[in-house]
């Protein structure tokens, strides 16, 4: 039982007024606490942001130094590989006489070769003297043209006197060519 001297309508209005005031004070306290929380978190946010930027700068420096180190390692490996390739190419560029003899033997066709004489003149020219037997004059001339295509920029000396016969021709041919 409530003992008040106020009428019922006035009590309801008063209760409503107290409730609004209580709600207003509660909202005020919540907003003040939110403002104080934001005020205390803002310096922490700025500090964390500065720390993050500093750490990102450090990571960038580490990556740059690592890339430079990797680049230096790669460059040194490339230099050593280039030296190896230069040595290998130097050994490949030395021309062997067996290559010329094999090319001549491959171009002979039906001709029988009896002897080879290989002589290298300096570092750029070689002379090969071939002796053999050709069954027909046309076979000998075909052999000469195949040699000219096998050795570009070469001269093939075939004496005309050896072309006098038409069958079983004994020949001696001199090939002068540039070494690759």
48-83 burial by CB neighbour count: b if 16+ within 10 A, else e?
eeeeeeeeeeeeeeeeeeeeeeeeeeeeeeeeeeee
What is the pTM assigned to this prediction? 0.47
Higher pLDDT, 148 or 166: 148
pLDDT tens-digit series, residues 57-75? 999 998 888 888 888 888 8
User: How far from each other are the two terminal CA atoms of the chain, in whole angstroms?
Assistant: 124
How deeply is 174 buried, as exposed, middle or buried, from its count of CB atoms within 10 A (0-12, 13-18, 19+)? Answer: middle
Helices H / strands E in the chain, number of each = 3, 4
pLDDT tens-digit series, residues 117-144? 888 887 778 888 988 888 888 888 888 8
pLDDT tier for residue 167 given thresholds of 50, 70 and 90: confident
Report pLDDT for 51.
Answer: 92
> Cα angle vertex 59, ends 54, 64, to 5°?
125
Report pLDDT for 93.
Answer: 54
What is the average per-residue pLDDT within 45-63?
A: 91
Report pLDDT for 1.
Answer: 44
Partners of 130 in beta bridges: 116, 173
């Amino acid at each position: 039982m409530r003992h008040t001297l106020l009428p019922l309508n006035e009590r309801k209005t008063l209760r409503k007024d107290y409730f609004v005031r209580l709600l207003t004070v509660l909202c005020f306290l919540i907003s003040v606490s939110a403002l104080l929380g934001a005020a205390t978190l803002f310096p922490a946010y700025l500090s964390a942001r500065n720390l993050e930027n500093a750490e990102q700068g450090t990571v960038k420096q580490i990556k740059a130094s690592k890339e430079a180190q990797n680049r230096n390692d790669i460059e040194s490996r490339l230099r050593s590989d280039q030296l190896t390739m230069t040595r290998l190419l130097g050994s490949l560029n030395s021309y062997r006489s067996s290559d010329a003899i094999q090319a001549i033997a491959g171009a002979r066709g039906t001709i029988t070769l009896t002897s080879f004489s290989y002589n290298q003149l300096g570092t750029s020219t070689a002379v090969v003297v071939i002796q053999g037997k050709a069954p027909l004059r046309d076979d000998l001339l075909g052999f000469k043209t195949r040699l000219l295509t096998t050795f570009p920029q070469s001269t093939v000396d075939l004496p005309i006197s050896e072309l006098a016969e038409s069958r079983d021709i004994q020949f001696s041919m001199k090939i002068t060519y540039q070494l690759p």
